[in-house]
Amino acid sequence: MIQASALQFIDDLKNNNNKEWFHENKKRYDLFKKEYQTLIAALLHEMKPQDASLELLEVKHCTFRINRDIRFSKDKSPYKSNIGIWMTTDRNRKNAPGYYIHYEKGSSFIAAGIHCPEPEDLKKIRKEIAFFQEDLEEILANPSFKKEYGSLDRDESNVLKKAPKDYDPNHPAIEFLKLKSFTATQKINDSLFTDNDFAKKMAQKLIILKPLTVFLNRALETIE
């Protein structure tokens, strides 16, 4: 769990996103940072026994800096007004499959998979799906997966309008092959973050997506 005061800091930051306010509330930020790291430690404690690929992860590997990169952004707000926790299944890969937890007032969620893989990685994943469609369908048909996540995420930004290059539009797995990201997401209530059993409850939900991360890693590790 995380203390309500830590979440309140993030909520207040959203309404006072400037350096002056941040420096005036530096002590609150320091307390938030400590709570943030404690929360990650609790999550790793719950997740590692259930997914060996996370074994070498430390708290510092799962955090995000609070400072925003505003170099190419129209929004010049200097700080992030959300909490992100990223547990990668492969620290040696720039963009690997993994598990993600997000707090943002009214928009909190958990997810797993791989978001916007590199072009070469995307080719590998599509090839794996084309050859082993049944394996992916079996993962998505799991009753726990269907109950918690429904299916893989789909929206206009995530799906090609036409079949990808080199694939028949009538391929039986075409709806999966048209995806540009391979993630599953569940919205969660903000109040869960202050629940004493938050780490355990989130681990129970996230580990359902382990077969998806295993499938995606298998694709990425395939030697051409």
Q: What is the pLDDT of residues 36-55, one digit of tens each?
A: 999 999 999 999 999 999 99
> What is the arithmetic mean of pLDDT over 153-175?
94
Half-sphere exposure of 104 (CA within 13 A, CB side): 13
Helix/strand/coil for 98: strand
Provide φ and ψ at 100, rounded to 5°: -135, 140
Is 40 in contact with 200 (CB distance < 8 Å)?
no
> What is the arithmetic mean of pLDDT over 175-198?
97
Q: What is the pTM of this model?
A: 0.94
> What is the arithmetic mean of pLDDT over 153-180?
95
Q: What percent of the chain shows pLDDT beyond 70?
A: 99
User: Which one, of 223, 216, 221, 224, lies nearest residue 125 by Cα?
Assistant: 216
CA 127 to chain centre: 23
pLDDT at 94 over 90: no
Q: What is the domain partition of the chain in residue ranges?
A: 4-221
Residue 90, judged by CB atoms within 10 A of its CB (0-12, 13-18, 19+), counts as middle
Average pLDDT of the chain? 96
pLDDT at 193 over 80: yes
pLDDT at 21 over 90: yes
Rounded distance, CA 149 to CA 127, Å? 24
